[in-house]
Amino acid sequence: MRAMIRTVVLWATAVLLLTSTASGINAAANNIREAPVGHRQPKAQDVQGAQENSADQAMRKIDENLKKKLNGICRGC
C-alpha cells in the first residue's frame, strides 16, 4: 500500500513539475520580441567596408588604375 502511495505522489510531483516547466517555457517564449520580417542580424562581411585599412585602400586604387590602363589597350576582349 505504501509503495502505491509513493508511486502516486511521485507521479503527481512529476506532472506538476512538467506542467510548470512547460508553462514557464511558453511564458518566456511569449516575452521574446521578434524582429520584423525582412530584418536580420548583420554579419562581419556586411560591415567590412567600414573597417578597411590603408593597405586595402592602396591596393584597391592600384587595381582601379590597372583596370583603366587595360581597358585602353584591350577593348572588349
| Cell numbers at 39, concatenated | 530584418
User: If you search the block for the grid coordinates 586604387, which residue do you land on?
Assistant: 61
Domain ranges of the chain: 1-30
Type of residue numbered 60 = R
> What's the pLDDT tens digit per position in 18-39?
876 555 555 555 677 776 777 7
Distance CA 56, CA 62 (A): 10
> What's the pLDDT tens digit per position in 47-60?
766 566 788 889 99
Distance CA 49, CA 41 (A): 17
pTM, rounded to two decimals? 0.31
Distance CA 64, CA 57 (A): 11
Closest CA to 75 of 64, 61, 67, 62: 67
